[in-house]
A and B are shown apart, each in its own frame.
Chain A
Amino acid sequence: MGFMAGNFTCKEVAALITEYLEGSLTLTQRIRFQMHLGLCFACRNYLRQMKYTVATLRQLPSEPVPTQVREALLERFRSWKHEQSSPNSSSDS
């Protein structure tokens, strides 16, 4: 299997996986990383699991904002707009 494949150990590959996905490895590191992947199915699986994890997180349903919060803010917006359009309102009221 992939033991000592390329220059990196599996543990090193696992530690660098986010830097690889973020595109922040140096060219040499990236080549060594990819050489290891080419020879090690366990690390290839690990990389796929990481990508899958990210894709799964992206699919979480969005956090619902209560309608009363939304309504309260629209109310607030209207009174803000009113103050904006009548600059003297503070002395008027």
Chain B
Amino acid sequence: MLLPFIFSRKLVLFLAVPNLSDPLPRDEASLVRALQDGDETVFSAVMDQYSGSLLRLAMAYVPSRAVAEEVVQETWIGVLEGIGRFEGRSSFKTWVFRILTNRAKTRGTRERRYEPFGLAGVDSEKDEGSSLEDSLFVAEGSGSGHWVDPPQGWEADTPERALLSKECRIAIEEAINGLPDNQRQVITLRDVEGVSAEEVCNILTISETNQRVLLHRARTKVRRVLDPYVRGGNS
């Protein structure tokens, strides 16, 4: 179908189903071979398909958009340098994203932004985990564990409607930007870019459990930011 390709690159990326109007080869082996053979149409289609997601992920590692754009450029150059040796031990997509995270970490460290997981980091993560939902619930007495302010039905019925408000979109983007780096990386890939849980674990080299914990914290915070924009008439 041509329409989804025009209207939503994300949708095509998510489904990853090449078709007649799509210049991308049907299977990954042909895609890799076409790139190794120097097929510019395929290279430019792959670039168009992944660059937006790569850029968003890079911004979760480095302090500015300009540096993130450089990282995306370095990533594609890395793809060209490495494609001859690509053996398909991971999916092509995972491989490309791994090149990006490696470059982004190097740049992030140089720009004094990215702090690799350290013991101190793990401890503060634990503290955050126990307090994440505390404020939403009654702490003691007969109502202990129950909602302080029971969640209401949200007014806006479709996500598109929530995003119609520019204010709301900016608030969501800022909420994501304000997350700890590792939570931001996970929610960016999983929810914003629609990458599968398995691929996220491979790209970020984290365990399934860690992926879920980080995703949970990130989603919980974004939900809280979204709440006042989509609450029913009582606000």
Q: Which residue of A lies closest to B162 (CB)?
A: A56
Does the CB pair B192–A57 fall under 8 Å?
A: yes
Q: Which residue of B lies closest to A64 (CB)?
A: B52
Does the CB pair A10–B219 fall under 8 Å?
A: no
Q: Which residue of B lies closest to A1 (CB)?
A: B150
What count of chain B residues pass the 8 Å CB interface test?
A: 58
Q: Which of B85-93, B119-127, B153-161 contacts A (4 or more CB under 8 A)?
A: B153-161
Q: Which of A53, A65, A84 contacts B223 (CB 8 A)?
A: A53
Our count of residue pairs bridging A and B at CB distance below 8 angstroms stands at 144
What count of chain A residues pass the 8 Å CB interface test?
A: 49
Q: Smallest distance from the beta carbon of B220 to chain A beta carbons, Å?
A: 8
**Which residues 173-226 of B have a CB within 8 angstroms of A?**
173, 176, 187, 191-192, 194, 197, 208, 212, 215-216, 219-220, 222-223, 226
Known: A24-B212, A54-B219, A70-B47. A49 touches B40 (CB 8 A): no
Does the CB pair A57–B52 fall under 8 Å?
A: no
Q: Which of B25-33, B95-103, B104-112, B139-147 contacts A (4 or more CB under 8 A)?
A: B139-147
The complex places the Cα of A60 from the Cα of B174 at a distance, in Å, of 12
The complex places the Cα of A42 from the Cα of B137 at a distance, in Å, of 12
Q: Which of A10, A55, A63, A84 contacts B146 (CB 8 A)?
A: A10
Q: Which of A2, A24, A62 contacts B53 (CB 8 A)?
A: A62
Chain A interface SS verdict (over half): helix
Q: Which residue of A lies closest to B215 (CB)?
A: A18
- Residue among A43, A58, A63, A66 having the largest count of chain B Cβ atoms under 10 Å: A63
Known: A56-B159, A77-B40. A18 touches B216 (CB 8 A): yes
Interface residues of A (CB under 8 A from B): 1-4, 9-12, 14-15, 17-19, 22, 24, 41-43, 45-46, 48-50, 52-60, 62-66, 69-70, 72-74, 76-78, 80-81, 84-85
